[in-house]
């Protein structure tokens, strides 16, 4: 797929605004992206639920630079405090996007950002943070090119977000977003996320995600290192094929609302992601004893109550507990009474699927 459609046309309007703000959510993958090539091109297609309350809010302020040199001029402020430690990542991001948004070198930027979820909760803020920043930058471009279509804006914003955080390209819309080419999913692309285009059974409306914060510490393996472990991995090729097959199965599960099949598929995907890390070289165990305790309790609760609650994991020890909206009260009680003791400082977040980023 060519990327030339994302090179800018000639800008027809001058930029008169001084700042723009977006709130963009986190997302949780049902079919996992793990393994990439080139510049953030996924080795397999993935699909995620967009979250609602776990989000990053970013205000991007800009003034024209008097003198332009090879360096970008930017400052990152997190919760009101200057964080120079975050700036190299944004410099790298600007380097990747400059050929698509050439004005990044013409302005001095201040990026004021805050997350709705607690600091060092183990919830990655890169998907929500980079997608919020991508949207702010795209809003600048839209002001200079007002004839831009809504579709182009969304596609290019997701494309730009992808260059900062792969999974971040799935955060802009909701409730379900696919990233990565899949023969059965119309419009799917390796270059950007697209809203899931087919019918979804009402049982998935307002689907719930409770995030159990098992380990708030730094992850022992960054996602960049993790993705790289899939190069030369003994099981990589079959894992990439399996993700394609699993996504095909999910299409009919989403249509029919077969929650038993949903539970099996989602849990298997989570365990497969961790199995890839257990069997890589070097190998990693990212689950903690409490992760396994929680999984065990979920299985027992499901057996006893028949409620189709299931877990999924990202590349860490925290557990996402997924369940239908109609079972919310009961499952919330279960989490408060039985699972919260496995969380660090008893902390968990009740979230649900959301509809994507919003301009503030």
Q: Give the footprint of ligand PMV on this chain (CB under 6 A).
A: 29, 32-34, 46, 124, 126-127, 165-167, 223, 227, 273, 314-315
The smaller minimum CB distance to ligand PMV, of residues 21 and 121, is found at 121
Q: Which residues on adjacent β-strands are paired with residue 322?
A: 209, 310
The smaller minimum CB distance to ligand PMV, of residues 272 and 340, is found at 272
> Do residues 350 and 210 touch, judged by C-beta distance below 8 A?
yes
Query: Within 10 Å of residue 355's Cβ, how many Cβ atoms?
Result: 12
Nearest-angstrom CA–CA distance, 194 and 156:
11
Q: Nearest distance from residue 180's CB to ligand PMV, in Å? A: 10
Q: Nearest distance from residue 66's CB to ligand PMV, in Å? A: 36
Q: Nearest distance from residue 349's CB to ligand PMV, in Å? A: 16
The smaller minimum CB distance to ligand PMV, of residues 20 and 211, is found at 211
The smaller minimum CB distance to ligand PMV, of residues 24 and 126, is found at 126
Residue reference for tokens 């590349």 = 315
Q: Nearest distance from residue 2's CB to ligand PMV, in Å? A: 23
The smaller minimum CB distance to ligand PMV, of residues 141 and 269, is found at 269
Q: Nearest distance from residue 162's CB to ligand PMV, in Å? A: 9
CB within 8 A of 98, min separation 6: which ones? Answer: 104, 105
Q: Which strand (E) or helix (H) includes residue 116?
A: none
Q: Nearest distance from residue 45's CB to ligand PMV, in Å? A: 10
Nearest-angstrom CA–CA distance, 58 and 90:
13
DSSP string, 160-182: HHHHH-GGGGGSSB-SEEEES--
Take residue 291 and report the two structure tokens written for it.
């992760």
Q: Cα dihedral sign for 139, 195, 208, 40? A: negative
The smaller minimum CB distance to ligand PMV, of residues 116 and 165, is found at 165
Q: Nearest distance from residue 223's CB to ligand PMV, in Å? A: 3
CB within 8 A of 26, min separation 6: which ones? Answer: 51, 54, 55, 56, 117, 123, 124, 125, 127, 128, 171
Burial-class residue 2 by CB neighbours within 10 Å (0-12, 13-18, 19+): exposed
The smaller minimum CB distance to ligand PMV, of residues 57 and 171, is found at 171
């Amino acid at each position: 797929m060519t990327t030339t459609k994302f090179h800018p046309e000639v800008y027809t309007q001058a930029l008169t605004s001084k700042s723009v703000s977006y709130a963009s959510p986190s997302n949780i993958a049902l079919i996992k992206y793990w393994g990439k090539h080139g510049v953030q091109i996924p080795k397999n297609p993935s699909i995620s639920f967009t979250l609602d309350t776990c989000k990053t809010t970013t205000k991007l302020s800009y003034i024209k630079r008097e003198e332009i040199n090879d360096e970008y001029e930017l400052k990152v402020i997190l919760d009101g405090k200057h964080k120079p430690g975050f700036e190299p990542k944004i410099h790298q991001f600007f380097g990747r996007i400059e050929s698509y948004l050439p004005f990044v070198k013409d302005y001095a930027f201040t990026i004021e950002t805050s997350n709705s979820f607690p600091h060092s909760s183990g919830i990655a803020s890169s998907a929500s943070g980079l997608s919020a920043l991508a949207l702010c930058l795209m809003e600048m471009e839209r002001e200079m090119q007002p004839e831009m279509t809504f579709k182009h804006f969304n596609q290019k914003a997701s494309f730009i977000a992808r260059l900062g955080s792969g999974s971040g390209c799935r955060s802009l819309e909701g409730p379900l977003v696919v990233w990565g080419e899949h023969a059965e999913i119309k419009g799917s692309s390796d270059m950007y996320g697209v809203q899931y285009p087919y019918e979804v059974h009402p049982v998935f409306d307002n689907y719930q995600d409770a995030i159990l914060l098992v380990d708030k510490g730094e992850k022992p393996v960054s996602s960049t290192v993790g993705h790289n472990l899939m190069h030369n991995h003994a099981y990589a090729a079959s894992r990439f094929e399996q993700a394609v097959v699993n996504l095909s199965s999910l299409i009919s599960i989403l249509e029919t609302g077969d929650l038993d099949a949903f539970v099996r598929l989602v849990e298997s995907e989570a365990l497969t992601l961790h199995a890839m890390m257990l069997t890589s070289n070097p190998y990693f165990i990212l689950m903690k004893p409490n992760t396994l305790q929680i999984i065990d309790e979920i299985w027992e609760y499901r057996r006893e109550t028949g409620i189709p609650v299931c877990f999924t994991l990202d590349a860490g020890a925290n557990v996402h507990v997924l369940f239908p909206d109609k079972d919310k009260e009961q499952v919330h009680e279960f989490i408060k009474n039985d699972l919260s003791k496995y969380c660090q400082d008893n902390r968990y977040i009740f979230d649900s699927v959301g509809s994507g980023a919003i301009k503030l």
